[in-house]
């Protein structure tokens, strides 16, 4: 499958012994975080990075032994208010990359965390930062 985006980072959910034997894949682009799950029926979930409000790193012993961890991301998003990026390699690196992209996007759109109310940005009015109104 050809990439629709230029990915800054990608990884698979890891299972036993830290092996990427899973049908869950994570992608980080310049502006979005995408989760793709499934084999026969593929489901993609995404959120805009500028909507990230908080992150947490969880590293249970069973993951830490294999250099893995779980990143929990809180997002001002209707269908994905909490995203768990489960059992990935180098989770601290992902957190740093997300921080960098969130700051870039917030600077680009002149948005700060305090500007985000009820999942919508005051500066957005009726269109998003990409200029679309969300209607297809």
Each residue's pLDDT tens digit, 6-34? 899 999 999 888 999 999 999 999 999 99
Structural domain harbouring 58: 9-111
Residue 90 lies in a domain: yes
CATH number, position 39: 2.30.29.30
Name the one residue in this structure whose structure tokens are 């870039």: 104
Exposure of 15 by Cβ count < 10 A (0-12 exposed, 13-18 middle, 19+ buried)?
Answer: middle
Is the pTM higher than 0.85? The answer reads: no
> How far apart, in whole angstroms, are the C-alpha atoms of residue 53 and residue 59?
20
């Amino acid at each position: 499958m050809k990439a629709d985006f230029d990915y800054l980072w990608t990884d698979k959910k890891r299972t036993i012994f830290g092996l990427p034997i899973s049908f869950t894949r994570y992608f980080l682009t310049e502006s979005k975080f995408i989760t793709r799950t499934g084999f026969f029926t593929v489901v993609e979930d995404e959120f805009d990075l500028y909507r990230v409000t908080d992150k947490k790193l969880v590293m249970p012993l069973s993951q830490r032994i294999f250099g893995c961890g779980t990143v929990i991301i809180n997002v001002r998003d209707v269908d994905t208010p909490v995203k768990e990026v489960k059992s990935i390699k180098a989770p601290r690196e992902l957190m740093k990359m997300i921080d960098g992209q969130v700051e870039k996007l917030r600077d680009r759109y002149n948005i700060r965390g305090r500007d985000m109310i009820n999942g919508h940005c005051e500066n957005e009015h009726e269109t998003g930062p990409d200029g679309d109104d969300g209607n297809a």
